[in-house]
Amino acid sequence: MNIIKMFTDGGSRGNPGPAGIGVYVETLDKKYGEYIGEKTNNEAEYEALIFSLKKLKQLLGKDKTKQFEIECYLDSELVVKQLNHEYKLKEANVQKNFIEVWNLMLDFKNVKMIHIPREQNEIADSLVNQALDAKEKQGSLL
């Protein structure tokens, strides 16, 4: 079976505040970091996951995605537990993001959400901070 390991992270400086996402697709050795505007931490975590699943679909090709099992590693316990149906979705914007992730998951053979400690998500976390630092240097965060 084809398994792809992927680490995602999202964060904001302030809650809400300037936010960024980081994605590390370990299996393919691909890294992505992006500034995403004003978001809460939870919104940024979901945005990172949405971005990563869309990017995988693009990289693999729409016709081949059903051949792959995706292991998503996140340091957001909240997002993982919501997607694993252990926590309820209370906020409307979180519900919207949940539905988008759920629909993207249908494109793959199987998608697992796995919570990891922050220390094990260093690459994705550093990509978030690089994106925010780059935006801050442009003077756009203040």
Within 10 angstroms of residue 68's Cβ, the number of other Cβ atoms is 19
**CA distance to 27, 38, 85, 110, per residue, from 56 (Å):** 11, 25, 24, 13
Within 10 angstroms of residue 112's Cβ, the number of other Cβ atoms is 14
Q: How far apart are alpha carbons 107 and 81 in whole angstroms? A: 21
Within 10 angstroms of residue 80's Cβ, the number of other Cβ atoms is 21
pLDDT of residue 115: 98
Q: Which residue has the tokens 């949405």?
A: 50
pLDDT of residue 90: 85
Nearest residue to 74 (alpha-carbon basis) of 130, 3, 23, 31: 23
CATH number listed for the domain at residues 6-22+40-91+103-116: 3.30.420.10
Per-position pLDDT tens, the chain of length 142 = 699 999 999 999 998 999 999 999 999 999 999 999 999 999 999 999 999 999 999 999 988 999 999 999 999 999 999 999 999 988 888 899 999 999 999 999 999 999 999 999 999 999 999 999 999 888 755 4
pLDDT of residue 140: 54
